[in-house]
Amino acid sequence: MLIASCEIKLYLPGAATLKDKRQIIKSLLQKSKNRFNLAAAEVDAQDYIQTAVLGVAAVGSDYNQLQSLMDKYLDFIESFPEFSLTDFEVTISR
């Protein structure tokens, strides 16, 4: 069993309030779960309006498949105009 995890840092320039931020993040997390069947949550910077840190995880048995899934997910994240991806770290381990 392999576990792929990814920490993603986002910048949300259009968020003026925490309510705006939470709405954007909630929508992204729901789309992530529906499209990619990943476990995803906001894991840090909850009190900062224009910054979000997401944790994403998937379990599988094939390293290349998990790496491909994370690559596709990062491409998906970059397709949204509401925020920009500022940093990420992907880890695949046993």
Q: Which residue has the tokens 């690559």?
A: 71
3-class SS letters over the chain: CEEEEEEEEEECCCCCCHHHHHHHHHHHHHHHHHHHCCEEEEEECCCCCCEEEEEEEEEECCHHHHHHHHHHHHHHHHCCCCCEEEEEEEEEEC
Say whether pLDDT at 6 is over 90.
yes
The pLDDT, as a whole number, for residue 50 is: 92
Kindly list the strands in the beta sheet with 84-93, ordered across the sheet, starting from the edge strand earlier in the chain.
39-44, 51-60, 2-11, 84-93
For each of the domains in the chain, give its residue range(s) and CATH number, in order of start: 2-93 (3.30.70.1120)
Q: How confident is the model at residue 14 (pLDDT cuts 50, 70, 90)?
A: confident
Which pLDDT tens digit goes with each residue over 27-59?
999 988 889 888 999 998 888 899 999 999 999
Q: What is the CA radius of gyration of the chain?
A: 13
Q: How confident is the model at residue 75 (pLDDT cuts 50, 70, 90)?
A: very high
The pLDDT, as a whole number, for residue 92 is: 92
The pLDDT, as a whole number, for residue 70 is: 94
Say whether pLDDT at 2 is over 90.
yes
The pLDDT, as a whole number, for residue 55 is: 95
